[in-house]
A and B are shown apart, each in its own frame.
Chain A
């Protein structure tokens, strides 16, 4: 039986990538005042709660013009 701890080195890159997405999204949210819709609180909550989907949806629908 495999132990989850054995697989940890393989899990780390995934976590890193997810963090990259979340952090770029958060930086973008905090550096902009206006969004296509929604407000800052909504997007921060969405990005933090839904990994993967949160940042994707933010960048596609929430990101304002630039």
Chain B
């Protein structure tokens, strides 16, 4: 337990001093501010581009569009940034050999995995929470509030998808060596999921639904039951990935 606390503190200090915490917070806060503004300015932007005086008839943007924009930014750019920030989550420590002395001091291998997961989870949750709060404030200020069904569920789905990415990164770095191989393996896995989406009938089970159906859930375009299934599947995958990380890392030559 003392090992977990000490190593967890080290992880947090590392995120702060390597500027990763700063980047993640800034980028997500920027997304939270930018999405409502983009939604609001969309008609202006589009009308400026209208050719030869043909006026496009663009509907006035609403509360929905603001969150639609938010989900679009976070599920694409946001997840890419998440991958980059946490890409070296365990690989870096392993490939540099910095863990050797700490393990030799009696740090348990389980504590390493759990502390790494906890620190990443906290950083991701904090950045996401900031983004959501700012998004909420800006949207209320710029748009008239409309009843949005399942907004919180949608937000929860994206948060869970972030955790899914974190655990897959952690698992990949226990499975393959090298400073960036965990990142590559995770990217490959996500690529495979994207390809699988084209197989009819599978998309409702895919964790990707958590990052692609968010806007649809608010407008009713996406099926809530399918989303709930995807949530459960993702939770199972997260727990299994963590378990695999713990078991594999315990048996790894260092």
Contact = CB atoms under 8 A, between A and B. Distances in A.
B37 A7 contact: yes
Given A7-B37, A11-B37, A24 B27 contact: no
A63 B26 CA distance: 18
B43 interface: yes
Contacts of B41: 2, 4, 7
B126 to A, nearest CB: 16
Interface residues of B, number: 23
Contact of A60 (B29, B44, B84, B141): B84
Contact of A21 (B26, B34, B84): B26
B114 interface: no
B23 A10 contact: no
Interface string A3-36: 0100100110110011011001000100000000
Instruction: Give the secondary structure class of A's interface.
Output: helix
A11 B27 CA distance: 15
A59 interface: yes
B34 A56 contact: no
Contacts of A57: 84
Interface in A42-60: 52, 55-57, 59-60
A59 B14 CA distance: 13
Contacts of B29: 17
Contacts, number: 54
A58 to B, nearest CB: 9
Contacts of B44: 1-2, 4
Contacts of B202: none
Nearest to B24: A56
B243 interface: no
Contacts of A1: 43-44
B67 to A, nearest CB: 17
Contacts of B30: 14, 17-18, 52
A10 B137 CA distance: 11
What 8 A-B pairs have minimum CB-CB distances, sorted nearest first?
A59-B19, A60-B84, A14-B33, A17-B26, A17-B30, A21-B26, A56-B23, A14-B30
13 contacts: A2-B41, A7-B41, A10-B138, A14-B33, A17-B26, A17-B30, A17-B33, A18-B26, A55-B23, A57-B84, A59-B18, A60-B20, A63-B18
Given A20-B26, A28-B19, 8 more contacts: A1-B44, A2-B41, A10-B141, A13-B33, A14-B37, A17-B29, A56-B23, A63-B18
